[in-house]
Amino acid sequence: MSFCFIEIFNPRYMIVINSVATINTPIKPSSSLIIANIKSASESRRQLLLRIPLINGFNACVSDAEGFADVLAPYMSKDGFALEVLSYHEYGKDKWEQNGMSYTMQDAFVSETQFGEFCNILKNNSIKLVRT
């Protein structure tokens, strides 16, 4: 199974982190390298799992969900293709502190209501959601 972690989306800016590289580039959704890679993976693989970690105040509002849906829906219609929405957590907070780094995220948890609204927008756009 292929994985792609999509950290944020809005019409002007996307950060994608995957196992190969970090891309931090302003994009146009219709012509971006990131979207081209998702399209290529959707055409060449039998299974694809995209993951979106939700962070309050960063990418968890209705307009973000609509942006994800607009960009991802065309590639998510095949069997074996799914999206997992992850709630923010602080599992790595101790690692930051152990390495002498400040953990600066505050008020990043998403509410159950936010999470549900976000997921409903994706489902209403025919995107299959899974939990792993």
Query: Residue 53's beta-bridge partner residues?
Result: 86
Beta bridge partners of 2: 48
pTM (two decimals): 0.74
pLDDT digits (tens, 9 = 90+) for 66-120: 988 988 888 887 788 889 999 998 888 899 889 999 988 889 999 999 999 999 9
DSSP symbol at 108: -
Structure confidence at residue 116 (pLDDT): 97
Q: Please give the radius of gyration of the chain, using alpha carbons only, rounded to the nearest integer.
A: 15
Averaged pLDDT for residues 29-47: 73
Q: Is the pLDDT of residue 124 over 70?
A: yes
